Structure 1
């Protein structure tokens, strides 16, 4: 009967050094990945607890719309204001510059015939 420490199971010294280095690299890689997951879940947890707050936008002034137009919605996004309105049964969205309130374009919606 052979003992568990027999000469057949031993590695030569060069292979032993390579195996030791490989174990060290694997441990370092696992540690680095663990810190990465901690950072990711920490950032997600922070956003959940604190909330997705955005900076308030302060816009003042008047935007001239066509007579008889009913505003359905108005949205501020970056440096643009999108105003969706209904006029004479037609729905359209008009875009304005947030700083100057100058028109930047419009988009009309129509049903298929």
Structure 2
């Protein structure tokens, strides 16, 4: 009747407990590293300067009687196709600054 309920663990049990503690420590550190990586990725996307620029309002003047036929956006250019009284002209713009980067005119041969 004087038997104790919490006896000292055997050497095999102590080795097993140490091994379980070591595996839990590795799992906890791996989880903390993964959560930290996700938070860094979110912070990078949130505070990146390139994606947070103010809106720019620009008015482009077109020649008289010009009609816009088509527009397109690529990764680094904004393309506007114009009809200038029978001839076609393509104008390209930088989408970040909205400045003209070039003009390509087409005309019919006489």
> Structure 2 length normalisation: TM-score?
0.43
> Structure 1 length normalisation: TM-score?
0.43
